Amino acid sequence: MAYTPTPFPIPTVPPEFTAASAPEQSRKFAAQLYQDFFNFPIIQARNILETTSAEDWERAGQKMALEVFHAAAERVPAYKDFLRKNKIDPEKIQTIETFKEVPATDKKDYIKNYSLEDLSWDGNFHRSEIAAVSSGSTGKAFLWPRETRLEIEATYFFELVLDSFFAISQYKTLIVDCFAMGMYVGGPFFLNATLRTAQKGYPATVVTPGNVMDDIIRVVQEFSPYFEQIILSGYPPFLKDVIENGEDAGIEWSKYRTIIFPAGEGFSESWRAAVAKIAGITNPQTNFLSYYGTADAAVLGVETPWSVAVRQAISTDNGSVKKVFGQSRLPSFMQYLPTMRYFECVNNDLHFTTASGAIPLIRYNIGDDGGIKTPDEVAAIAHEVGLDITKKFPSAWQLPYVYVFGRSDHTAILYGANIYPENIKSALETGNIANKCTGRFIMETEEDHHHNQHLSIHVECAKGVRLTNQLRRRVATTITLVLEEINAEYANTAKAVGERALPHIFLHNYGDERYFPRTKQKQKWKN
Coil, helix or strand for 143?
Answer: strand
Instruction: Return residue ranges of the chain for CATH 3.30.300.30.
Output: 417-508
214 pLDDT exceeds 90? yes
Fill in the amino acid letter for 51.
T
Q: Please state which CATH class domain 166-288 belongs to.
A: alpha beta
Report which of 122, 147, 131 is spatially closest to residue 27, judged by C-alpha positions: 147
- Residue with the bigger pLDDT between 405 and 172: it is 172
Say which range, 132-146, 252-266, 339-353, 470-484, has the weakest mean pLDDT: 132-146
Cβ neighbours of 32 (radius 10 Å)? 15
57 contacts: CB under 8 Å, gap ≥ 6 = 5, 337, 338, 339, 398, 399, 400
Q: Residue 20's pLDDT band (boundaries 50, 70, 90)?
A: confident
Tens digit of pLDDT for each residue in 393-415? Answer: 999 999 999 999 887 667 888 99
4 pLDDT exceeds 80? no
Assign a CATH topology to domain 417-508.
Answer: GMP Synthetase; Chain A, domain 3 (3.30.300)
254 contacts: CB under 8 Å, gap ≥ 6 = 279, 280
Residue 517: predicted pLDDT: 85
Residue 303: predicted pLDDT: 98
Report which of 361, 178, 326 is spatially closest to residue 264, judged by C-alpha positions: 178
Tens digit of pLDDT for each residue in 414-433? Answer: 998 888 888 898 899 887 89
Dihedral angle sign, alpha carbons of residues 458, 462, 464, 469: negative
Residue 1: predicted pLDDT: 38
Residue 233: predicted pLDDT: 97
Percent of the chain with pLDDT over 70: 96
Which one-letter DSSP state was computed for residue 272? H
Over range 348-357, report the average pLDDT. Answer: 92
Residues recorded for the chain:
527
Report which of 527, 292, 243, 284 is spatially closest to residue 399, judged by C-alpha positions: 292
Report which of 88, 74, 67 is spatially closest to residue 11, judged by C-alpha positions: 67
Q: Residue 137's pLDDT band (boundaries 50, 70, 90)?
A: low
Tens digit of pLDDT for each residue in 42-77? Answer: 999 999 999 999 999 999 999 999 999 999 999 999
18 exposure class (CB count in 10 Å sphere: 0-12, 13-18, 19+): exposed
The per-residue pLDDT of the chain, averaged, comes to 91
Tens digit of pLDDT for each residue in 491-524? Answer: 989 999 999 999 999 999 998 988 888 665 445 5
Residue 522: predicted pLDDT: 46
Helix (H) or strand (E) holding 446: strand 437-447
Measured CA to CA, the distance from residue 281 to residue 274 in angstroms comes to: 10
Cβ neighbours of 516 (radius 10 Å)? 21
What is the pTM assigned to this prediction? 0.87
Where are the alpha helices (H) located in 200-319, listed in sequence order? 213-223, 236-248, 269-279, 284-287, 305-315
Q: How far is CA 486 from CA 256, 375, 432, 481, 492, in A?
A: 41, 43, 18, 9, 11
Contact by Cβ (8 Å): 490, 420: no
Q: Residue 135's pLDDT band (boundaries 50, 70, 90)?
A: low
358 pLDDT exceeds 50? yes
Query: How open is the CA angle 297-188-39, to the nearest 5 degrees?
Result: 75
Instruction: Return residue ranges of the chain for CATH 3.40.50.280.
Output: 166-288
| C-alpha of 378 from chain center | 22
Dihedral angle sign, alpha carbons of residues 335, 337, 340, 346: positive
Percent of the chain with pLDDT over 90: 72
